Every structure is written in structure tokens, then in C-alpha cells.
Amino acid sequence: MQLISLNTDHKSFTQIVLIPKNFLSYKHIFLLLLFFNTICKSIGQESEDYLIIPEIKNINFDGMPDEVAWDAIDPVPVVQYEPNAGAPPTQKTEIRFAHDENYFYASMRGYDTVKSGIRGNTLYRDRLAGSDHLEILLDTYNDNETGYLFATTPTAIRNDVAVTNDATGGTISVGGWLNRDFNTFWDAKAKVTEEGWFTEIRIPFSSLRFQENNGEVIMGLSVQRKIARKSERIVYPAIPPVTDWAFLRPSLAQKIKIIGIKSKKQFYVTPYALAGLQQWNSMNEAQNTYERKNDFKYEVGGDMKLSLTNYLTLDLTINTDFAQAEADDQQVNLTRFSLFYPEKRQFFQERAGIFDFKTGGLSRLFYSRRIGLTIDGDLVPIYGGARIVGRVGTWDLGFLNMQTAEVDSLPSENFGLLRMRRRVFNEYSYIGGMLTSRIGMNGNYNVGLGLDGLIRMFGDDFMIIKYAQTFDNDPFGDKKNEGFNSARIVAEWQRRRRRGVGYDFGFIWSGINYDPGMGFVQRNDFKFGTADVSYTWLYENNPVFIWQKLAITGFSYILNNNNSVQSAEFGPEWSFSSKTTSAGSIDVKASYENLLEDFYLSEDEFVPVGDYLFYRVGASYRMPLEKLFNIRSRIEAGTFYDGTRLSLSLQPSWYVSKHLELSAEYLYERVRFEKRNQYFDAHITRLRIGTALNNKLSTNALIQYNSTLDLVSANVRFRYNFREGNDLWIVYNEGLNTTPYRHIPELPISDTRTFLFKYTYTFHM
């Protein structure tokens, strides 16, 4: 077994830059990037052993790779990733790769001695649902950081996902690196026989972004077969479980070389037509009852996708619509800060990782939900816009410009974004910059500038540095935008591995007026320090555990004005993953909060100003995801400010058949302030029902109850997929008041209702 090493020898140097106080104008970010581009060349590159992808002809794409042409290609050598890393697979597995002029191909002969044990639990697109599956990761940019996942199952469903940040996230760099809402054009077919299950995957080169040099294309590739009933994962190359999700890390992928292909430029036009009814309620003139309002909706619009080069794609959108996007999950907020909701709209998904500029925790310089949505999640019509992503020379490039309509008190606004970065020093490091602008037609504006770098120092140690500054015309005095008043600095040192000693140290400084108008920020005017030190035991022959980890973590927020501690937390944590791939953790935390103003949980329950030290104990457990019925659970209990808190989360899921899947979630928050005779209870119940008659016809329903809002909401989406890019959607949304008598006049039972038909058709030019 050959293990992939992260160590690389490279040279390094130090460059000192003196920055004047007033350097941050529009042009300086580009001058600095040009400076780095001049001095930072990729040096000390590692020599690579490439897997040459052969050309193939005369195959019938039917899911059964039994042609002579496939037999002529050697299968890649595979080993177990889990439960016994490096051991031979328990079931014979033959995985092959090939290409022709138009497609990248993968095939698998997944032999299985127990046919009845083969699992294909769903027919629903973008669901693996505990099924056996074949999954391919392609680092098409060969940047060791981003990639595309293509997976299929014995029922030939397609699941495509985008990976960013090398499938890792540190203490400060926390955030989603797995984008499940990404979709592109490709095909998969599968067959189940007495010998096992077999599949073929076909990905058009027009759906991939790669750079051709003298007739050669270099990418990163890894592949894994999952045998669900055995909780066995088989991989190529022989990647050990050195980190969480190591088999999805582009930096550990095998380098491949494809010879004699050219990028196929794509030109897709996808118009849509939408019709439906929207209903809501408003108070009548007498202010004594609510009246139902009806709005019959008819709209047309569309998107266009054009390959400008083999590495640069232009997306245009007119009268942008996101009717088919899934509703947000309801949340309970027991903090003093804004809630964060992930982006689910497809237009913002492709190569979304290039736009990442996280500035600590969930905060970021760019947050795409600022476009077309209010802070409360209400829709703002989008006239249209343009988006360019890809690579120009050695620079990764992202450009976005969109115009929204005027709604109520909100003016029409223009949102602009430019993102650039490039690899430096070695194959795992980059520097970059970002410029954002939000300009209202009423004359208001907000501009954000940022510089960032990810530097691999040695081995598995990485340093992250970020600087962001914002400017606006909000009148808070002449010094609002001067110096560091509206800036944020982030520094982090992390070790990206799971074996032995691990650590993650971070620091943030944020000015009092830092305000990214196109971003997301939870708090300002602070200094922040965090530390995570751990030791992980990674086992080869342990009969119970794959790994165990013991960690001590802590953080502290310190106010800039008086250097007093505002928030802090510290405590140990033990976590594990078992041979059955179940996982769990136990943690003990001590927390401190200094409230400078009353903190309200609801209209009646609050925590008064003061200093508070409190403690909690938490435990979580996750059954193996491959089980047809599994549960994720977490419980926390302890003191909470001057009271007590009990928090419970249960997430069961049941794959009843390949036509029906059920999942639920129950969240319970119980807070008691006995001394002040205040009580707060919050219940959120979520039920997802997925049905699929076949690979084309499916329905997904999301029904939620939120006791803090006294609201039941339903989001039901019916989809008929004629072919990739050609869909009929029927969308039904309803909001129901569970206690209409809580207000005078009494609220209507139905708060809002939407019923929409949407048809899209993609023309391949």
C-alpha cells in the first residue's frame, strides 16, 4: 500500500511591505495583486507520477461495461479506506477511466457475493440515501483545493456536489465546504445482476473547466466505492484517513493526464415561463379585520451560459427567478446575533468557492443572499445580471454584477463583485483579493476591499491571513472609514491532519465600523483569540474504533474600547468514529458573557445586564449513515446566564423504499429563569417527505412547525425532469397561524399561500 504524503520541499522568502495609512482606495488592491503576481512564482514544484487516461472507442453507454474496449484498460488499484485502512476490499472491485473526443468516462464492475445486500435506496436526484454508490472527485482546476463530485447508485441516480477549501475547515475558517446545491450536465447508467452492480458515468468535457497545454490536460482524481451494508469504503488512490473526509480532499487526489483533447465550448440558453397565484392578508381600512389579497403572477425570463474560453464561463440572467429553490430551515436563536442561512439558489452555485472570503466563523465579505433577499428573507425582484468564473492565465477569476428592483422602502440597487487569486510558493498556497460594491439608486453606497492568503508552511501546517476594509457614505463623522475603524484582520495557523498532535490557533481584530454591505457579520469592535489543541489515535487493527480524538478548545472576545472580556468559552471534548462508521462526542464547556444591554429571548423573557459564568455538558451520537433507519442526536444541559437550559436535537431518517424516503428533525430548547419567574420553551419540528416514481418524476415536501412564531409552513415541490435542463416544476407554499387569537383582531388561519407552475427548457447551441 502506498500512502500519499503531504510533505513537499520548497523554498520560501520574506517580503516586508510598508502600507501607508490611507492606502485603501479602489486601485490599490489591484496594484498589490500585481505586485504579488510579480514576486510570487510557483517554485519547488513536486514531480508527479501521472495516471494516463486512455482513449476509448466502440462502447455502448448502457451501464454495463462489458465491451472489449473496457477490458483493454487496466483497473486502478483500490484499497479500503474504512473500516480497515489499507486492507484489500472484501468485494472484488474493478474501476476504470477513459475518454473520447467529447466525454470523460468512468466504469465500475462492483462484484458482490450477496445480491440481496446491494442497496439502491432512492430514485431521487442528489440523494445517496445510504445506498451503495460510486463517487468520483475531479480537481479540474488542478489547484489542490476545489473539485467536483459525481456519484451514482444501483438505481442510476445522479448526485453532483462542489468541494471547496480542500474539504477542510478550521476554527476560524468554519463554514460549508460541501455545496450540495451544485448541478451540471452529465449522465449515469447502472445495472444489477447476479454478480453485483455495474455502472458507467459519462461527463461531457463541456461541463468541466480545465486548462489545456500543448494538447495535454492535468487534473486531480480520486474515486471511492461504498458498500453500504458493510460500512466499507474502497478508494483510489490509497488515501489514509488522515483527516475527516480525507477521501474528498483534492490535495490528496491522484494526478491524471489526458492527452489529445480540446475543451468543448458550451452555449446554453434556458428560458422559463412561470404562472401562478400568490395570496396574503392585510388589515382593512377600519383596522378591525384582515382581508385576503390575490396576485396572479405571470413571468418570463431566463439564463444563458457561454464558455468564453476553455477556462472561463459567462452566465447571464434576465428577470431572475428562484421559485424552485427549497425553503429555509426554521431556527431558534438563543444568541444576541443574526442567524445565518445557506445559499440554495442555483445561479450562485457553480464555482461558488472562488467567491469565498470568510472573516471568522460565519462572517464573510461576500454573502450572496444579500442579492435578491431582504435580511428577513423576503424576495426582492432581480432585473438581471452577469457572472464570470474561471481562470485567466495563472489567476482564478470571479466577477458578478446584478441589479435589483425597487421594493417598498428599498431602492433599486446594483451589486458588484470582483475576486482574483493565484497559486504562489507551492501547489497548496494562494494569495488573492476581493472588491465588492453595493450602490443604491438613492445615492447610498458600500464598498468592501479584501486581501487574503493561504500559505502551506510545511508538512500539514497552513497559515491563513485576511484583511478586509469597508467604506460607505453613512454619516458617522469624518473618521468612520479611516484607518482600522472599518477594517477586519484575520490570522490562523492550523494543522490539517488526523493523527497525533493537532492544533488550530486563530486571531481576529475587528473595527467598530466594519460593515460589509454585501457580506455577513455577527459582531464588531473586538479582538478574538481561539485555540484548539488535540491528540488523535488512528487505529489499524482496533476491533472497535477507527479513530478517537481528545481536544481542548477555547475562545475569547475582548472589547476594543476597554479591553474587557465580552464572551469566552473553554472546555475539553472527546470524539470517536467506530468500525461500523457510527460516531459520537462528549464535551464540557464553561462560558462567560458580559451583557452591556438586556438580552431578549422573546417579548417577555430576557436576561438583564451583567456578568455571567455558566456551564454545560453535551453529548452527540450518530448511527451509521448506511442504515436504512438511522438517528442523529444531541443533548446539552447546564446553566444558562442566571438560569438553566436543556437542549435536545433528534434527526431520524428512514428509507422506506427507493420510491419513498422520510426524514424528520425535532429541536427543543427549554430555558428557565426561576429567580425571575421567567420560562422560555421553543419547539421546531421538521418533516421531509421525498417520493420518486422513477428517475424523472419526484416530489419533495418540507413541513415545519415553529412554536416561537406560532407557525406551520409547507414547501412542496413537484418536478418532472424531461431531460437534463428541461423541467416542469409545480411549487406550493403555505403558512398557517397555529394561534390566530394571539392578536386583536384575530389573525387569519392561512397567513400566506403560493401556487406556481414553472417550465424551463435548455437549448444547446
Instruction: For residues 378-406, give the mean pLDDT.
Output: 90
Residue 391 has pLDDT above 60, yes or no: yes
Query: Do the domain assignments include residue 141?
Result: yes
Residue 45: its pLDDT value, please? Answer: 39
Identify any residues that bridge with 671 across adjacent strands, giving them in sequence order: 645, 680
Instruction: For residues 317-333, give the mean pLDDT.
Output: 84
Residue 96: its pLDDT value, please? Answer: 97
Query: pLDDT tens digit string along 679-690?
Result: 999 999 999 999
Residue 454 has pLDDT above 70, yes or no: yes
Three-class secondary structure of residue 221 per DSSP? strand
| % of the chain beyond a pLDDT of 70 | 91
- Cell readout for 545 is 474504533
Measured in whole angstroms, the distance separating CA 758 from the mean position of its chain's CA atoms is: 26
Residue 54 has pLDDT above 50, yes or no: yes
Residue 10 has pLDDT above 80, yes or no: no
Query: pLDDT tens digit string along 723-759?
Result: 888 999 999 999 999 888 877 888 888 888 999 999 9
Query: Do the domain assignments include residue 604?
Result: no
Instruction: For residues 233-245, give the mean pLDDT.
Output: 89
Quote the CA–CA distance of 591 and 605 in Å, as a whole number.
20
Residue 44 has pLDDT above 80, yes or no: no
Query: pLDDT tens digit string along 75-111?
Result: 999 999 988 889 999 999 999 999 998 899 999 999 9
Range 664-673 contact pairs with CB under 8 angstroms and sequence separation of 24 or more: 664/688, 667/332, 669/332, 669/334, 669/645, 670/645, 670/646, 671/334, 671/601, 671/605, 671/640, 671/643, 671/644, 671/645, 672/643, 672/644, 672/645, 673/605, 673/607, 673/641, 673/642, 673/643
Which range among 14-23, 70-79, 168-177, 539-548 shows the weakest confidence by mean pLDDT? 14-23
pLDDT band for 475, please (50, 70, 90 cuts): low
Query: Do the domain assignments include residue 446?
Result: no
> Nearest-CA neighbor of 704 among 326, 325, 333, 330?
330
Q: Tell me, what amino acid is at 31?
A: L
Residue 5: its pLDDT value, please? Answer: 34
CB 209 within 8 A of CB 311: yes
Query: pLDDT tens digit string along 500-548?
Result: 999 999 999 999 999 999 999 989 999 999 999 999 998 878 889 989 9
Query: Do the domain assignments include residue 606?
Result: no
Helix (H) or strand (E) holding 35: helix 28-39
Identify any residues that bridge with 282 across adjacent strands, giving them in sequence order: 291
pLDDT band for 609, please (50, 70, 90 cuts): very high
Query: Do the domain assignments include residue 747?
Result: no
CATH number of the domain where residue 63 is located:
2.60.40.1190
Quote the CA–CA distance of 663 and 630 in Å, as a whole number.
10
User: Which residues, 6+ apart, have CB-to-CB distance to 222 below 8 Å?
Assistant: 136, 137, 235, 236, 237, 239, 247, 248, 252, 253, 254
Query: pLDDT tens digit string along 642-663?
Result: 999 999 999 999 989 889 999 9
pLDDT band for 47, please (50, 70, 90 cuts): very low
State which residues form the domain around 215: 48-259
Residue 353: its pLDDT value, please? Answer: 78
pTM equals 0.81
Of 350 and 640, the one with more pLDDT:
640
Provide the domain count of the chain. Answer: 1
Residue 48 has pLDDT above 70, yes or no: no
pLDDT band for 384, please (50, 70, 90 cuts): very high
Residue 534: its pLDDT value, please? Answer: 95
Q: Tell me, what amino acid is at 237?
A: P
Residue 678 has pLDDT above 80, yes or no: yes
Query: Do the domain assignments include residue 319?
Result: no
Residue 39: its pLDDT value, please? Answer: 39
Which range among 34-43, 67-76, 241-250, 671-680 shows the weakest confidence by mean pLDDT? 34-43
Residue 263: its pLDDT value, please? Answer: 67
Residue 13: its pLDDT value, please? Answer: 28
> Nearest-CA neighbor of 379 among 319, 458, 307?
319
Compute CA distances 740 → 50, 103, 712, 737, whole Å. 66, 58, 12, 6
Query: Do the domain assignments include residue 628?
Result: no
Instruction: For residues 664-685, give the mean pLDDT.
Output: 94
Residue 27: its pLDDT value, please? Answer: 47
Residue 31: its pLDDT value, please? Answer: 45
Q: Tell me, what amino acid is at 757?
A: F
Rounded to the nearest integer, the mean pLDDT of the chain is 86
Instruction: For residues 697-709, give the mean pLDDT.
Output: 93
Residue 274: its pLDDT value, please? Answer: 94
Query: pLDDT tens digit string along 549-584?
Result: 999 999 999 999 999 999 999 999 999 999 888 999
- Cell readout for 180 is 450540495
Query: Do the domain assignments include residue 375?
Result: no
Query: pLDDT tens digit string along 195-232?
Result: 999 999 999 888 887 877 777 899 999 999 999 988 89
